[in-house]
Amino acid sequence: MTVESLRCRECKAEVVAGPYYVCEKCLGPLEAVYNVDALRRLPLRERIEAGPRSMWRYVDLLPVAYDPVVDLFPGFTPLVPAPRLGRALGINDLYVKNDSTNPTWSFKDRAVEIGTAAARTFGFKVLACASTGNLAHSVAAHAARVGMRACVFVPAGIERGKILASAVYGPTVVEVDGNYDEVNRLCAQIGDEHRWAFLNVNMRPYYSEGGKTLAFEVAEQLGWRAPANVIVPIASGNLLVKIHRGFQELAALGLIPDASARVHGAQAEGCAPVATAFHEGTDTVRPVRPQTIAHSLAIGAPADGRYAIAAVRATGGAVEDADDAEIVEGVKLLAETEGIFTETAGGVTVAVLRKLAAAGALDPQGSTVVCITGMGLKTVEALTDVIPAAVRIRPTLRAFEEAVLARA
């Protein structure tokens, strides 16, 4: 449903829905307001199950109308049983939510498609974003699809493949000498002075609703119930917050019996401000300067960090972190046990899953879902030194038998 107003999370003031993300009264963040009574009158489950096999099957619970022009068919990604990974880690009933199968191979397509639809209704001509790579891919692809100009800002020094996978769609790619937090600050300042649609800034009240659909899908794919545990990587913290909220919304609308999932967060040790605050028992997230191979999680000042901690604490979850070696090991473990090749962020999530299982932090009564949010070819640099070289042979049967058969 198209939302008609936005509400400040801090002071509750409402404004007519528009391209704003900040409350004029108190500078708090604005979020979409739904007509709950109208939603409760709809046969939601029937409408969802009769919908397309994409994120748009949940359009009743999204802040924009369906816009076929933007549609690259994101979402409704596989929920894959992961028995071999589960055995390796001692976890029963484990699933991988494989969001690396999205149109630009990361979960960002969910948010960008909603944000792009919103940008079109507000009449913007340019789509833009601050990104560590994945968001830039999605924004560039969607701009190409709808015929808008795109300008994506990334920190200098991100993986070569991540630059190429944006540039191919024809945007202006701007490498900024600074880290993600500095790129993000610059984009907020540009968006303040120029009428561009920054997906993760002024389109945020719409864009950020995309994360909910990941929870909607998990619940529907489990037979309309929440899992006992869900493990989510934390960059800004927004995805975790939205997944928690997605389960709560389904429960509030009577689509699942309850929203009892323990929500767990995963960070890289080299950028773990949320894990640190969680372990210190505070909700004040102190910024850090990121130093990790998991570039897509390298946000040193996570805007939703305190809200993520609140969601984790409210559900009995935990936040853990993983160092670079554990991250690479996580990537390899998922690939070798389940045939799914994830980027370094997924390595973080798998490594943290292992720690949570070992620490007894997972609720053993029910299913566990690990969210894999991006695909491995985006970050091959992280693996080049640890993956064994191919076996090279002459084209003879003897060479094969000597060099290969002995290994297989």
Partner 1 sequence: MATIRIPTPMRRYTNGERLVTVASATLAAAVDELDRRFPGLRERLLDGDGHLHHFVNVFVDEEDVRLLQGLATPLGDRTEVAIIPAMAGGGRPVLS
The two structure tokens encoding residue 171: 């945007």
Q: Which of residues 128-167 bind partner 1 (CB under 8 A)?
A: none
Q: Which stretch binds partner 1 (CB under 8 A): 68-76, 180-188, 348-356, 361-369?
A: 180-188
Residue 47 as a binder of partner 1 (CB under 8 A): the answer is no
Closer by beta carbon to partner 1, 167 or else 176: 176
Q: How far is the CB of 63 from partner 1 (least distance, A)?
A: 10
Tell me which stretch binds partner 1 (CB under 8 A): 236-244, 344-352, 365-373, 399-407.
236-244
Is the Cβ of residue 211 or residue 227 nearer to partner 1 in the bound state? Answer: 211
| 28 near partner 1 (CB under 8 A) | yes
Binding of partner 1 by 31 (CB under 8 A)? yes
24 binds partner 1 (CB under 8 A): yes
Going by their DSSP bridges, the two strands 197-198 and 172-176 should be labelled as unpaired
**Of 1, 13, 39, 174, the one binding partner 1 by CB under 8 A:** 39
Q: Show the binding pattern over residues 273-292: x = contacts partner 1 (CB under 8 A), - = does not.
A: -----------x-xx-x---
Q: Residues with Cβ < 8 Å from 246, sequence gap 6 or more?
A: 211, 212, 213, 214, 215, 216, 219
Of 246, 251, 300, which is closest to residue 272 (Cα–Cα)?
A: 300
Polymer length of the chain: 408
Binding residues for partner 1 (CB under 8 A): 7, 9-10, 20-24, 26-34, 36, 39, 181-182, 184-185, 188-189, 192, 200-201, 204-205, 207-209, 236, 238, 241-242, 245, 248-249, 252-253, 284, 286-287, 289, 301, 303-304, 306-307, 310-311
